[in-house]
Structure 1
Amino acid sequence: MGSCGPRRQCWGLVLRVALVQAAWSAGVGQVRYSVPEEAKAGTVVGRLAQDLGLEAGDAEWRRLRLVSQGRGSSVEVSGASGALVVSSRLDREELCGKSAPCALRLEVLVERPLRVFHVELEVTDINDNAPFFPAARKNLSVSENSPPGSRFPLEGASDADVGANAQLSYTLSPSEHFSLDLQRSEEYRESLFLVLTKPLDRETVPVHRLVLTASDGGRPSLTGTMELVISVLDANDNAPQFNQSVYKVQLLENAAEGMLVVRVNATDEDEELNSEVTYTAINTFPPKGLNVFLLNPKTGEIRLTGALDFEDVRSYEIQIEATDKGTPPLSGHCKVVLEVLDVNDNAPEVWVTSLSVPVSEDAPPGTVVALLSVSDRDSGANGRVRCAVWPSSPFGLVSRFAGSYSLVLREALDRERVWEYEVEVRAEDGGSPPLRATRGVRVPVSDVNDNAPSFLQAVYTVLARENNAAGAELARVWARDPDEAGNGRVSYSLWEGGVGGASPSVGRRAASSYVSVDAESGRVWAVQPLDYEEVQVLQFEVRAVDAGDPPLCGNATVQVFVVDENDNAPALLPSSVGGGWGGSSVEAVPGSLWAWASWGAPAGQVVAKIRAVDADSGYNAWLRYEVWEPRGKGPFRVGLYSGEVTTARALEEADGPRQRLVIVVRDHGEPSRSATATLSVSLVEGGESSSSSSGSSSSSSSGVRPSWGAEVGAASASGASATNVWLVVAICAVSSLFLLALVLYGASRWAPRAAVLSGPGPATLVCASEVGSWSYSQRQSRSLCVAEGAGKSDLMVFSPNFPPPPGPAAKETQPEPPALLDTVSGPPFIASRPLLAHVSLVSLVSLVSPGSRAEWAGPAVGGCLSGA
Structure 2
Amino acid sequence: MQLNFGICLLYLHYCLCIDFTYYVKEGEEEGTYLGDIAVDMHLYDSNLLTDRSKVTFSQFQRSVTQNSQLFNVTKSGKIYTAQTLDSDTLCSYNQECFKTIKIAIQQAKAFIKILKVRVVIQDINDHQPKFKNEEINIQFSEDASIGVRRSIPNAIDRDVGLQNSQISYHLGNNIDNPFALSTSKSVDGISQLSIFLKEKLDREKQDKYVLEIVAKDGGLPPKESVLIVKVTVTDVNDNTPVFLRKVYNITTKNKASRMMPIITLTATDLDSGDNGKVSYHFSSKTASSTKSHFMLNERTGEIYLQQIFPLRSKLLNELYVRATDKGKPPLSSAVLVLVNIINQQNNYPSIDVNFVSPVSESSATISEDTAVGSFIAYVMVTDNDIGLNGEVTCELHHDKFQLLMLESKEYKVNLKDPVDREVQDHYDITISCEDQGSPSLETKRKFSIQVMDVNDVQPKFTKSTFKFLTYENKKANFPIGFINATDPDLGQGGQLTYSLLTNNKYNFPFQITNYGFISTRKPLDHEIKNIYKFQVFVKDNGKPSFNNTANVFIEVMDENDNAPYFSFPSVNPFSLDVHYYPNKKTNITVLKAFDRDSRTNAFLKYEILRGNDKHLFSVNPYTGVLSFSRPVYQDDVGSYNLEFIVKDSGTPVLSAMTTVSLTLTVSNKTSRIMPAVNKNLNEMVEVDFAIVIVLVAMIVSIAVVVSIATCIIRCNRARNAAQGGAVEVMNPSLNSRSERRQLINQTDSSVVIPKSPSEMRNRNIQLVGLRSQLYSEDVSQNDWKTSTLATKLPSTKQIYVQQVAVAAGGKGVQESTCMVPHKQSDRIATHLGSHHKWSDGQTGLYEEIAAIFRVFIGVKGSNSIRINAM
Pairwise same-fold verdict (TM > 0.5): no
Q: What TM-score comes out, normalization by structure 1 length?
A: 0.38
Q: What TM-score comes out, normalization by structure 2 length?
A: 0.38
